[in-house]
Structure 1
């Protein structure tokens, strides 16, 4: 899928600090929009596995800070907002894979939908397999069916939401503060699931900003 928009040169952080902090209405929004589409179009058009690996690998390098500055405030209805959410999921899994694996396993136990099939997690669930899953989902954005990748990410988030809610129930009688934290995490994952599913529909319909 292609879009009619400018293809700017991706600039390092110091070169666009003035834009992020600019008082010009919409400057940051335009930068997020243009860079996200330029990156996606460029990588998908090249279809080079090494290029895809480098772009996906941004989530494990210092480049994640640049992505945050560019895209973290973008609307969930935009490509920039979608990409930020996927990079964030990958980063969270990489930072604390054992905790992510625990929540996901609990989510699988609680699931009564096809989300486990759609998410496609390898069995048994391990910390390494969760990092691999989030990496595979992100790779699918740049080298695969983007609608399928977004729906897969949405299913992943629904399972994580179920897992966090289940653990919150377990903690409720022993640690109210931790239970409340887990409940909020469950709600955030649920919101991500809804946003990513909606983005999949918009991409399919050609209406993703």
Structure 2
């Protein structure tokens, strides 16, 4: 996949242009927060788990355009911002699980923190295991401990960021463009890790809106 996470937004959609391009930024923010809270509440209320299964299946088949229209411009440390980052992280892993597995392996080897254990990937973690992990984390946000899921996602981001940094170093002498792309990916993942960890803390305080 490209080193930077894609933002799959349907540019021709007039409704989207009106929403995020409107001078009424407050209304766009209100829509983002209301829809995020409503989705989280509705899916978590379904004890059968069928609602989250339908939601994941829908995004597998149709992408995340509809979600992007609602959440992609939300503040990073808000409920819609946190959910948007979870979806982008899932998209990144599903788009190129082989790269994700490589970065996870290198990141786990390089880090001296407990992030790999917190993320919860098996050892070894190949492409299929990484896909299963990120699906489990996203599912956990809707049916389990929301803050715990955000913390796992934050740890996962830090492992991936470390791996991207070290793989970028490998390419620096021979493929500078690829090294630059991986470095940018590492920076993005590191920021996402910080944002998700902060969102988890806010959720535990009852302050994530």
Query: TM-score, normalised on structure 1?
Result: 0.89
Say whether residues 1:180 and 2:180 are aligned partners: yes
Aligned equivalent of 1:99: 99
Q: Which moved more, 1:64-73 or 1:20-29?
A: 20-29
Unaligned runs of 5+ in 2: 1-12
Q: Is the 8 A contact 1:59 1:90 kept in 2?
A: no
Aligned equivalent of 2:111: 111
Aligned equivalent of 1:51: 51
* Structure 1 residues 1-209: aligned runs within 5 Å: 18-209=18-209
Q: CA deviation at 1:48?
A: 2.3
Q: CA deviation at 1:137?
A: 0.4
Unaligned runs of 5+ in 1: 1-12
Which structure exhibits the higher relative contact order, with contacts defined as CA atoms closer than 8 Å and separated by 6 or more residues? 2
How many residues align structurally?
A: 197
Q: Deviations over 1:102-132 (max 9, x none)?
A: 1111111111111111000022211111111
RMSD: 1.6
Q: Is the 8 A contact 1:157 1:193 kept in 2?
A: yes
- Name the CA distance, whole Å, in 2 between partners of 1:207 and 1:95: 33
- Name the CA distance, whole Å, in 1 between partners of 2:75 and 2:95: 25
SS at match of 1:61: helix
- Name the CA distance, whole Å, in 2 between partners of 1:29 and 1:112: 39
